[in-house]
Amino acid sequence: MTKKTNEPINPDKILDCLGLFCPEPIYRTRMELDKLKKGQILEVIADDPAAEGDITSLVKRLNLHLLEIRKEKEGVHILIKND
């Protein structure tokens, strides 16, 4: 579930997938999610058009918490928490 708050979320790790195309963003995101400890937050930044849908599906499949999806000039920012 996506939650929008006014407070900035400080990720524990940032994964830069700019310039990478499928399947790299989803593969690298999965690798980083496997390293996350309980309570930690990963921010993924990607400009692949498929990244938002792919990563959202992955988060749902892994029963993690999607904190935010934010579209900015350089790409989409996706914040994921390991609950």
- Determine how many CB atoms are found less than 10 A away from the CB of residue 50: 13
CA distance 25 to 18: 8
Query: Catalytic amino acids?
Result: 22
CA distance 20 to 35: 21
Given a contact cutoff of 8 angstroms between Cβ atoms, the answer to whether 76 and 39 are in contact is: no
